[in-house]
Structure 1
């Protein structure tokens, strides 16, 4: 299997490592990490740097009597615990198009998901997230083209199967397309179709001749 060629970029990886990317964006990056050893190493290095910086911070002073209370708890007998149940040997994992952590949200079988029609050639599954953030699985038929659009925020699209092409290039499994207000594009699915995880942080802005008239009716 080939390795991804398009990555989230240093800024998004730093935000992810720092825990400030949000659930939707974090889901895209974390799923990309499952498919990209290079970005996994980069995030591990960022975590190591963050840990080193924390070690240089001056520790907070302990509350009066904290050490005595700790020693007193160590002298208490441990609570009774049932002996652990021997672990079950799991069957070999079946390869899935849906890697972790995305699998925890939607399961591992796209055929079992409840797809709904977005437009001719496009189907989607909404992924429930907290705090009103939105993420979707989008399935495009071969040759299907999305309306030409730009963004009032950030758009992240992670390819899970097949691929698509647009003004930014050709994207295959594991690749992340990052769009913002400077990008005006019209993604077109490869002949075999495309399955991707899509996150839009802000509104889409249609830019085609007809799309401009539809912008007032667009939802997030």
Structure 2
């Protein structure tokens, strides 16, 4: 029986707190939820934060409300778009390659993913989220490298299968790399297996070479 690989790179406490509070953009919330479905330790910590929030709510003093307050709230609910996405993605453990939260967005496992080539064997599938940040699945062939790049804001990259290595460390299934505008790296997939990742970014990547920059408007990375 295959031994489950230890997860060494986790979601930061600040991101877990923001996730528990429901303040993360939808794309980042999806990455956190996917990681929590794969990581027992972070899931337990997130549940603890939910419990603390519940206790704090119970301890708050009541505030008097006008008689028309309920009618006003109901009117706002009815006026909201029916398909407005929730910023906080739910946690659901799945037995497939894709974690439960990602399967919910795709409508199935890997066979349901609509990949698009971005060159050099690398493929992506952009997921529909709010416009505050973008989320995409990335497929990197074994041994292949992403072009050297930095970032315009925060980027979360969760490994779903396979592994990659960059200048900072190696990242396997369940690991999350947290990068920002100070990180300059070249992720390379392990030679033993193709690497599939879920990535969320605040802005476009900053590629170092001219060819990826030329293709950037067409692939949207």
TM-score, with structure 2 as normaliser: 0.79
After superposition, the Cα gap between the structure-2 partners of 1:179 and 1:211, relative to the gap in structure 1 and judged at 3 Å, is farther
Distance 2:114 2:22 in 1: 31
Q: Corresponding residue for 1:101?
A: 101
Q: CA deviation at 1:217?
A: 5.3
- Per the TM alignment, residue 171 of structure 1 is displaced from its structure 2 partner at its CA by 0.6
- Where does residue 124 of structure 1 map in the other structure? 124
Does 1:27 find its partner at 2:30? yes
The CA deviation at 1:21 is 0.7
Distance (whole Å) between structure 2 residues aligned to residue 212 and residue 98 of structure 1: 28
Residue by residue over 1:172-218, the C-alpha shift from the partner in whole angstroms, topping out at 9 and shown as x without a partner, is 1111111101110000011111001111111211134x469649958
CA distance in 1, matches of 2:95, 2:154: 31
* 1:60 corresponds to which of 63, 80, 99: 63
Which residue is 2:144 aligned to? 144
Deviation of residue 95 (structure 1)? 3.1
Q: How does 1:1-220 map to 2 (within 5 A)?
A: 1-61=4-64, 95-131=95-131, 133-191=133-191, 192-208=193-209, 210=210, 214=214, 219-220=220-221
Task: Flag structure 2 segments of 5+ consecutive residues without an equivalent.
Answer: 68-92
**Structure 1 stretches of 5 or more lacking a match?**
65-92
- Residues in 1 aligned to 2:102 and 2:6: alpha-carbon distance in whole angstroms: 19
Whether the 8 Å CA contact 1:164–1:189 is kept in 2: the answer is yes
> Is this contact kept in 1: 2:151–2:181, CA < 8 A?
yes
SS at match of 1:198: strand
**Structure ranking higher in strand proportion:** 1
Question: Number of paired residues?
Answer: 193
**Given that residues 151 and 204 in structure 1 are in contact (C-alpha distance below 8 angstroms), is that contact kept between their aligned partners in structure 2?**
yes
Once residues 176 and 56 of structure 2 are traced to their aligned partners in structure 1, the CA distance between those partners, rounded to angstroms, is 30
The answer as to whether partners of 1:205 and 1:215 remain within 8 angstroms in 2 is no
Native 8 Å contact 2:148 2:184 kept in 1: yes
Distance 1:211 1:184, change over 3 A: farther
CA–CA distance in 1 between the matches of 2:109 and 2:41? 27
TM-score, normalised to structure 1, is 0.79
Query: How many angstroms apart in 2 are the aligned matches of 1:158 and 1:199?
Result: 9
Q: 1:214 to 1:116 in 2, by over 3 A?
A: closer
